[in-house]
Structure 1
Amino acid sequence: MAYATYDAATLRKGPFMTIRLTLLCAAAPVERDVRFGGDTPLDERALAQVRGVAGSLPAATVCLMAPSQRCRQTVQALGWGAVAVEPVLRDMDMGSWQGRTLHEVAGSDGAGLAVWMSDPEAAPHGGESVAQVCRRIAAWLEQLPADAGRVWAVVEQAVARAAVLHAMDAPEQSFWRVDVPPLSAFQLTGRSGRWNLRIGAAGSSEPR
């Protein structure tokens, strides 16, 4: 299946007046050692899960992906071909905690971890705070042209969480209360700066 490349000219074409953006969370290895900012390659079971939903996804005007290995592998398993990388959709920068497990960080910087989990503006690791990620994604959503049409983006969990909070006008303190399983789909329908949200599994029917 072929998709348009991501550029300003493409997004400004067409008669669309409503943005239909679907954020698809990247697949994750079935057996994995979860690490902050980790980008573990997908195993065969995860790739099989992606292939299982590939044929049920509707076509799009534009398809994008975050610049991570798992997002690229998810796109490849979907059979989308060449898809443009959107750097703004990158995962949260975890600074000095990058690549470390929750247990390791709790053992070496328990106080910092507690502050980070409770204060959206905190960044004890020297990377991005939750609030910074939320503002980054909110700005990206609001700069999408009104005539963008139907857009698909394969993204990281943090990006999906931030998008949900923006669509719902929810406080940043709710960031960790949004559960984002691999291959979950968040459909945002927007017009004039307002968003409606629909959550489902990849391949579920989209709102018309």
Structure 2
Amino acid sequence: MTIRLTLLAPAPAAAPRGARVDDDGPLDEAGRRQVRAVAAGVPSARRHLTSPSGRCRQTAAELGLDAEVETDLRELDLGSWHGRTLDELAAGEPEALAEWTTDPASAPHGGESVVRLCRRIGDWLDHLPGNAGRVLAVTPASVARASVVHALGAPPDAFWRIDVPPLTQVRLTGRNHRWNLRFG
């Protein structure tokens, strides 16, 4: 049986706080309106999942989903960089930031590397039961990006070349540990 997986990036966080590397602020009314505006285009599914992220859980709730929290779909662990802005990192740790964005095996923040994230998400994808059918998961953009890397068998440095804006749907189909990226 083919698994039809839709990964939905959460709505943007409330008030602009700068370009934070792991922005998990709460949804404001504008974010909730954006979720409601895309709700009709979100495909139905037999199983609904969400990352533990507050934004992901709030997005799922706003869609009216009774989504199960799946810890494997958690955000990339940014260690000591949690909550910092890109401007702060560029000013205070420019070499470390450059290393992180060019070497997918590095984790200068002491958290999880992109390689490790891609492996974690690839393992999760490959262990979905073959009879899962249609699955909708609200996940951080980093999880959607890692999923695309795995589905395409792309090198981990491709992670940085995949943009997943808020409320974007990434659709994958899978069977026997073979995944395809599906457009349209």
Q: Shared topology, TM-score over 0.5? A: yes
Unaligned runs of at least 5 residues, structure 1: 1-16, 201-208
Structure 1 residue aligned with 2:168: 184
In the alignment, does 2:123 pair up with 1:139?
yes
What's the CA shift for 1:131? Answer: 0.5
Determine which of 142, 148, 152 is the counterpart of 2:132: 148
Q: CA RMSD in A?
A: 1.2
Query: Considering only CA atoms, is the larger Rg found in Structure 1 or Structure 2?
Result: 1
Determine which of 56, 71, 93 is the counterpart of 2:56: 71
In the alignment, does 2:120 pair up with 1:157?
no
Determine which of 93, 97, 104 is the counterpart of 2:81: 97
What's the CA shift for 1:57? Answer: 2.5
Q: Deviations over 1:128-159 (max 9, x none)?
A: 11111000000000001111110000000100
In the alignment, does 2:170 pair up with 1:194?
no
> How many residues align structurally?
183
What SS does the corresponding residue of 2:41 show, helix, strand or coil? coil
What's the CA shift for 1:31? Answer: 4.4
- How many percent identity over aligned positions? 55
Q: Deviations over 1:87-140 (max 9, x none)?
A: 000001111111000010111111111111110100001001111100000000
Q: Is the 8 A contact 1:35 1:100 kept in 2?
A: yes
In the alignment, does 2:33 pair up with 1:45?
no
Structure 2 residue aligned with 1:12: none
Q: Taking structure 1 as the reference length, what is the TM-score of the superposition?
A: 0.85
Unaligned runs of at least 5 residues, structure 2: none
- Written as runs of structure 1 = structure 2, the 5 A alignment for 1:2-151 is 17-29=1-13, 31-33=15-17, 34-80=19-65, 82-151=66-135
What's the CA shift for 1:46? Answer: 1.2
Q: Taking structure 2 as the reference length, what is the TM-score of the superposition?
A: 0.95
Q: Is the 8 A contact 1:29 1:45 kept in 2?
A: no
CA distance in 1, matches of 2:88, 2:126: 37
